[in-house]
Copies of this chain bind each other. A is one copy, B any other.
């Protein structure tokens, strides 16, 4: 038993899709969520600045004496260096490895598509993780830089023409590659999953990376006897005003936000503080 909270962060609101799954799987856990809404999006930025932001995000969560760090951001998960991983000093996971394992367990043809932000696709982190598990797998990646702004601006209705038009462009090379599994490599994408599924067709399995990292957290806490007992709950921290966050959070959580939302200043935290 470990009564401490799970720390989880994302560049913005996307990681709330992971919180939604965590709350379903682990209703007794306390969750401390940080969304870096003052500096979102991460995925179009350079690797070094993404790493600096990630170190500050992790340092912030560690101030709260969490028992585990869940990196619910595809971009950060793809850009972590071994040095960063070593310095966390707590059980942690990004979305890449759990999602790669799920995709490898799902695929029959060994042909796997990967969509994500520009930084994620450029990093090739998913492809590397997949080939470590299934050496003969073939992966087909394409960056979808407009998906995050489209989702954050509410262009998510299953019949949204704009998002469908953009998605058809981004998915064209992946469709052509005849994959049987598509990794949605960013925690914003589950909100437009119906559009992606329509374009890819019913025979392609979509992998929700946030759901997979939530399952990893459940499995890790269970097998290490670190589950919490008693009532669970959430606390939310953001780096921009809480109002905007509260407005869109419901979409991602699948229900109104419950729990306090506080604004903090993350850019004054030293990236080396972890």
Q: How many residues of A contact B (CB 8 A)?
A: 28
Task: Report the bound CA distance from A244 to B244 in whole Å.
Answer: 28
Contact between B239 and A49, CB atoms less than 8 A apart: yes
Task: Report the bound CA distance from A63 to B90 in whole Å.
Answer: 41
Q: Nearest Cβ distance between residue A252 and chain B, in whole angstroms?
A: 16
Task: Report the bound CA distance from A152 to B149 in whole Å.
Answer: 11
* Chain A stretch 233-253: residues in CB contact (< 8 A) with chain B: 239-241, 243-244
Partner of A149, one of B38, B146, B241, B268: B146
Known: A161-B165, A267-B267. A38 touches B45 (CB 8 A): yes
Copies in the complex: 2
The chain B residue with its CB closest to the CB of A38 is B49
Task: Report the bound CA distance from A272 to B38 in whole Å.
Answer: 19
Partner of A240, one of B46, B169, B239, B268: B46
| 0 or 1 for each of A160-176: is its CB under 8 Å from B? (1 = yes) | 01100110010000000
B-chain residues with CB within 8 Å of residue A203 when the two chains form the complex = none
Contact between A241 and B146, CB atoms less than 8 A apart: no
Contact between A152 and B44, CB atoms less than 8 A apart: yes
Contact between B166 and A162, CB atoms less than 8 A apart: yes
Q: Nearest Cβ distance between residue A56 and chain B, in whole angstroms?
A: 9
Task: Report the bound CA distance from A37 to B44 in whole Å.
Answer: 10
| 0 or 1 for each of A24-44: is its CB under 8 Å from B? (1 = yes) | 000000000000011100001
Known: A39-B39, A162-B162, A267-B267. A46 touches B244 (CB 8 A): yes
Q: Nearest Cβ distance between residue A249 and chain B, in whole angstroms?
A: 15
Q: Nearest Cβ distance between residue A142 and chain B, in whole angstroms?
A: 13
Q: Nearest Cβ distance between residue A265 and chain B, in whole angstroms?
A: 9
A-B contacts, 24 of them at CB < 8 A, read A37-B45, A39-B39, A44-B152, A44-B153, A44-B244, A45-B244, A46-B240, A46-B241, A46-B243, A46-B244, A47-B241, A48-B241, A49-B240, A145-B149, A146-B153, A146-B155, A149-B149, A161-B165, A162-B162, A162-B166, A162-B169, A165-B165, A267-B267, A267-B268
Q: Show the binding face of A for B, using Cβ within 8 Å.
A: 37-39, 44-49, 145-146, 149-150, 152-153, 155, 161-162, 165-166, 169, 239-241, 243-244, 267-268
8 further A-B contacts with Cβ under 8 Å, apart from A48-B241, A162-B166, are A37-B45, A44-B152, A44-B244, A145-B149, A145-B153, A149-B149, A161-B165, A162-B165
